[in-house]
Structure 1
Amino acid sequence: MITKLLIANRGEIACRIIRTARAMGIATVAVYSDADAKALHVRQADEAVHIGPSPAAESYLVGAKIIAAAKQTGADAIHPGYGFLSENADFAQAVIDAGLIWVGPKPASIRAMGLKDAAKQLMRAAGVPVTPGYDGSDQSVERLTKEAEAIGYPVLIKAVAGGGGKGMRKVDAPADFAAALESCRREAKASFGNDEVLLEKWITSPRHIEVQVFGDSHGSVVHLFERDCSLQRRHQKVIEEAPAPGMDAATREAICAAAVRAAKAVDYEGAGTIEFIADASEGLRADRIFFMEMNTRLQVEHPVTEEITGVDLVEWQLLVASGEPLPKRQEELSINGHAIEARLYAEDPAKGFLPSTGTLEMFAIDDGYARIETGVAQGDAISPFYDPMIAKIVTHAETREQAIWRMEDCLSEQLVFPVRTNAPFLLRALLSEDFMAARLDTGLIGRNPEWADAVALSQAARDQAAHAMLHRQPSDASVQTPGFRLNAPDRSEVAMMLGSEIVSGNASRPAAGVLQLNDGETVWLNEAGETFALRPFAARGTGQASAADGAIIAPMPGKVITVDVAEGQAVTAGQRLMVLEAMKMEHALTAPFDGVVEGLAVDAGSQVQVEAVLCKVMPASKE
């Protein structure tokens, strides 16, 4: 049995593996880059080894450094997690050659499924249904053009070594084929070092259905049923669930049996996923579900399978890697209820899903009805160097509807600030009429761009914040105490700061249904998935910074690229003081009125957090 495990990964998957290893009595070793020196997975592991600079290409992707760390610490096994080196057959072989246990499939199995064209040919020979198309060796433009015409438009061009939506183009008409082919090849060459492609028939109403398989070194292979991963944005999964809605018993038996045949065809050991594309124009039918590819590793969305089967897939990985047989036979596995997973990313949907980085001043997700998989805690930083996932939120219930409501509760109560997240986008998708009715296909998000719209703080939410502030700070000078007004209800007006904006709320009748959490002088609110922070407005002379004081406040995290004034300099209203670069855009910060610059706290090049006071403009004294 494995005694000490090195995890060749970071973030939430590293924390996930550490949790199971600890429960099994296995010691753990984390590896980390400069950016991750204080990361949660480093803090949770029994030991940690520094492996290089922040860029993944200089740390997490350098197999020799990881193997050296395992040797240095006396680890006897390496778990690759997912991403990074998890499907790198050469690294897997190097681990084995170093006398270590590789927690994953055999290198030959990884290679067999590594190229989409070869994998499709192998699956076809194994009796696994594949999408109609062309995956031959003749890669000439003339042959590919001819094959596309034979398949019939629209067609899909896919890089044979691709993944994550890269090197993939849909072509609707013959006139567009040559340009799309050239673009696809160029992207594939840059991303994977291989510009070969295959062609597939474009599937109408496509649903992404995948089957979790597991094999051991004793010749046994089982499936753990299917997942639906149809809700995607630009070929990246957003919300996954298990089992697939609308899957009848006969179709499930057919697709799962095909997945087991696929795994046996490559003598598979460990956890793997067989991905299928389904033509769901007439519902899920066994004769309209086709093999796409195999992922020879643990999947991001594996928790939904764990929730409905009661199986710990990481535990199974460690047992199988240690040479033990699968803990359960196929007839011992069954589906219990329904599970949904939502991927919470540090990104701003309203700004084209640009990544959002910075320190998590507030990070709170209620796990009362949800399983939270995360690699960060409050006070940690979201780094620009890696995948921007903050957490995976997983709910499980007896029915799909109940699992959706539990996910709604969680997304409606989580608090993440000042880093922006895709939570409002997730909430809109989850509660959309189509998702609720399980009318799913991979184009659903693309047809609903309004799901990415920004959320504005309502007056009802401002009133809720005002109520909290009034009752916590009854003597604050900014609070107008209740008073009698003829033929009108009493009001308690509270002035508050929302970023650099002064807003007010009526504290006498707080709105119901808006989550609030008081922390110091801040009221945190979640409205429609978005987190807002409201702070008391301080009148001039209190010593607290506010826009009304002349404080120049950073509207978002960013970098100061120019400072146009000096300490003590006289300025006029509207004069540019400095320029802040954030989200790849420049924001000029100007003087609110005539005055003198005081407390200049930044230079060109300074990195600042949201609502940081950069300087103040004090009114010029009147002679």
Structure 2
Amino acid sequence: MSYLRNPYIHENRRRGGSDSAWVASFGCSDMKPLIICRGPIRIEAMNVFEEMGITDYGMLLSEKDSIIYTNALSPELRKQIHPSRVHRVRDYSGATKEERQERIDQIIQIAKGNGYDSVFAGYGFMAEEEDLVKSLEEAGLNFLGPQSRTIREAGRKDLAKRTALAVDVSVTPGVDNATILTLLGICPDEKKLIKLAADNDLQVDELDGLSLEQQAEQVLSASYARGIDLITIDEVAATLTKEIETLFKNDPEHRIRLKAVGGGGGKGQRILDAPVHFDGKKADQLKKAIAAVEPLYREVLAEVKATGVGDNKNVLAEVNIETVRHQEIQVVGNGDWCITMGGRDCSLQMNEQKLLEVSTTQEELSEAIAAAKGDSLASLETDLKILKRM
């Protein structure tokens, strides 16, 4: 059976001709999306769009594609897509804040100039870029994904973690506010924060009634919007080193994971060995463990292209849970209603990349439990409890 004829993957997804008016309302054949991601996701998007009856899609083609497919056509081009719907760009996201904005402006120009009404960015990185989505919204283009406000509150890992804490959801222990702590080390009170904002002509929202950390976050957000740095990479690295030293003192046996606050796809992560992994006395072990903080922090920033002026240089530092299961819940909504569509177990990974995703529903797990025996029974029962809680 060929890949494109696998009934478990491919099907007729055209809904416009359904006898049900509700089902027909999900017809998308009139959409004209521009695909701005690369790699396997791009060809998958093309296949699904065609199954949905969408034929007027376009794609970006970067110089980097010629590196991936040396002396060969990428699979997307083998589909014989019309040249007028292939739009060449230098790269997909740019290396600095200025280049990223230039690329966003270029994407909007391509979309507007060629009659596209929406943009599909795949998963991770550009798909989690608030500035991209906000710019598309302001340009009157649809983004096939969450709105910019949702990306800001849930896409940035530090804000998502604080949102979870605010509603009493448990999170991995660690540090999520290194940049805030760094700024407060320079401006330790409201008066100095206000002066700093005024000196740099920052448009800061009302600070009254906010905690000092919230005020510092507002000032930092204003600096990102203006494209200036109030704190340096060296200063944040020093703060991170101090905070991680405290984490290691309290728990010298667990490794620490550094994780970029933006992006996805497994990039922007590094793991610090725990003090117990080093030789010597406890003080020497601790010193050796924290020595890697600054270089690995810089690697994280470089990998997610957050080293430029005005970039958010915050990262998470979390206790690395060695036996963690990666469970996701699929949620679909339109602002008025919201439904869940089962879960996904993505625990089988390599280099932080998902190798296999197993869809799970309460009904499927209940059926499996009824037929299970021994150790697998207990495992499935645990999976069902977790899915219900999620």
TM-score (norm 2): 0.57
Identity %: 29
1:233-281 CA distance string (max 9 Å, x none): 2322233323398343222101x2xxxxxxxxxxxxxxxxxxxxxxxxx
Aligned equivalent of 1:122, options 149, 152, 163? 163
Shift of 1:56: 6.4
- Which secondary structure state, in structure 2, belongs to the residue aligned with residue 85 of structure 1? helix
1:373-522 equivalence runs, <5 A: none
Shift of 1:102: 1.3
Aligned equivalent of 1:207, options 319, 322, 325? 325
Shift of 1:152: 5.0
- Which secondary structure state, in structure 1, belongs to the residue aligned with residue 165 of structure 2? helix
Shift of 1:68: 1.7
- Which secondary structure state, in structure 2, belongs to the residue aligned with residue 207 of structure 1? coil
- Which secondary structure state, in structure 2, belongs to the residue aligned with residue 62 of structure 1? helix
Q: Which amino acid aligns with 2:327?
A: I
Q: 1:241 matched to which residue of 2?
A: 358
- Distance in 2, Cα, partners of 1:53 & 1:204: 39
1:328-367 equivalence runs, <5 A: none
Q: 1:149 matched to which residue of 2?
A: 249
Q: 2:11 matched to which residue of 1?
A: none
Q: 1:170 to 1:207 in 2, by over 3 A?
A: farther
Counterpart contact for 1:213–1:224, Cα < 8 Å: yes
1:184 paired with 2:283, answer: no
1:33 paired with 2:62, answer: yes
Q: 2:346 matched to which residue of 1?
A: 229
Counterpart contact for 1:77–1:102, Cα < 8 Å: yes
Counterpart contact for 2:260–2:268, Cα < 8 Å: no
Counterpart contact for 1:10–1:41, Cα < 8 Å: no
- Which secondary structure state, in structure 2, belongs to the residue aligned with residue 198 of structure 1? strand
Aligned equivalent of 1:9, options 37, 49, 54? 37
Q: Which amino acid aligns with 1:179?
A: A
- Distance in 2, Cα, partners of 1:85 & 1:147: 32
Q: 2:230 matched to which residue of 1?
A: none
* More helix by percentage: 2
1:172-216 CA distance string (max 9 Å, x none): 113333212112222123233354333323324222222222222
Q: Which amino acid aligns with 2:352?
A: H
Q: 1:77 matched to which residue of 2?
A: 118
- Distance in 1, Cα, partners of 2:339 & 2:168: 17
- Distance in 2, Cα, partners of 1:142 & 1:89: 30
Q: Which amino acid aligns with 1:149?
A: K
Shift of 1:81: 1.7
- Distance in 1, Cα, partners of 2:317 & 2:93: 32
Q: 1:216 matched to which residue of 2?
A: 334
- Distance in 2, Cα, partners of 1:200 & 1:84: 21
Shift of 1:38: 4.6
1:196 paired with 2:231, answer: no
- Which secondary structure state, in structure 2, belongs to the residue aligned with residue 129 of structure 1? coil
Q: 2:17 matched to which residue of 1?
A: none
1:108-137 CA distance string (max 9 Å, x none): 111223432221111122232211233344
Shift of 1:106: 0.8
Q: How many residues align?
A: 254
Q: 1:171 matched to which residue of 2?
A: 273
Q: Which amino acid aligns with 2:388?
A: E
Q: 1:117 to 1:56 in 2, by over 3 A?
A: closer
Q: 2:87 matched to which residue of 1?
A: 50
Counterpart contact for 2:268–2:301, Cα < 8 Å: no
- Which secondary structure state, in structure 1, belongs to the residue aligned with residue 242 of structure 2? helix
RMSD of aligned Cα (Å): 3.1
- Distance in 1, Cα, partners of 2:61 & 2:320: 42
Q: 1:38 to 1:142 in 2, by over 3 A?
A: closer
Aligned equivalent of 2:51, options 19, 23, 35? 23
Q: 2:200 matched to which residue of 1?
A: none
Q: Which structure is richer in relative contact order (CA contacts within 8 A, separation 6 or more)?
A: 2
1:558-597 CA distance string (max 9 Å, x none): xxxxxxxxxxxxxxxxxxxxxxxxxxxxxxxxxxxxxxxx
Q: Which amino acid aligns with 2:330?
A: Q
Shift of 1:50: 2.4
Q: 1:97 to 1:177 in 2, by over 3 A?
A: same
Shift of 1:83: 4.3
Counterpart contact for 2:60–2:89, Cα < 8 Å: no
TM-score (norm 1): 0.37
Q: 1:105 matched to which residue of 2?
A: 146
Q: 1:14 to 1:250 in 2, by over 3 A?
A: same
- Which secondary structure state, in structure 1, belongs to the residue aligned with residue 325 of structure 2? strand
- Which secondary structure state, in structure 2, belongs to the residue aligned with residue 212 of structure 1? strand
Q: Which runs of 5+ in 2 are unaligned?
A: 1-27, 67-71, 183-238, 276-285, 366-375
Q: 1:90 to 1:54 in 2, by over 3 A?
A: closer
